[in-house]
Structure 1
Amino acid sequence: MRDPMMNLSVSKLPMFIVGLLLLLSYTLIFMSSMIVLPMFLQTGAGLSVFITGLMIFLIIFTKKTIQQYTS
């Protein structure tokens, strides 16, 4: 290609690779926690679906509220 949309030479930089791996690991951990945590709360702790959903909602709401006031 004459004009690529993204310059792929940036992938040769070690800090780019480290940043990309950190972003990937953060995303995987966050997404898996949103799947595993409700399953644990329902089966392991014996909580109802409503209480589990309320707890997850409060976790996300608190995180977004803290981000709003700290950034």
Structure 2
Amino acid sequence: MHFQTNQVTAEPYVFQLLQSLTGGRVVVESPGDSYRGILIDAKPDHIAIKDGDSVFYIRTMQIISVMPD
């Protein structure tokens, strides 16, 4: 049996930027929402932002902008 997997690859420069900001405070804009907190993880398909006791997982393809806070 043959399984085909689809792999989502973020834009390489965006992914590199997100990795460089990991561990720092960021502001991320996505359609309809804005997230502010510590970027705790950056993967090619999603990021994780911690704000207090909450962790938000955001798909990389939904990110409109990101900047250090």
Question: Of Structure 1 and Structure 2, which has the larger fraction of its residues in strand?
Answer: 2
Higher relative contact order (CA 8 A, sep 6+): 2
Question: Of Structure 1 and Structure 2, which has the larger fraction of its residues in helix?
Answer: 1
Specify if TM > 0.5: no
Tell me which structure has the larger Cα radius of gyration.
1
How does the TM-score come out when normalised to structure 2? Answer: 0.25
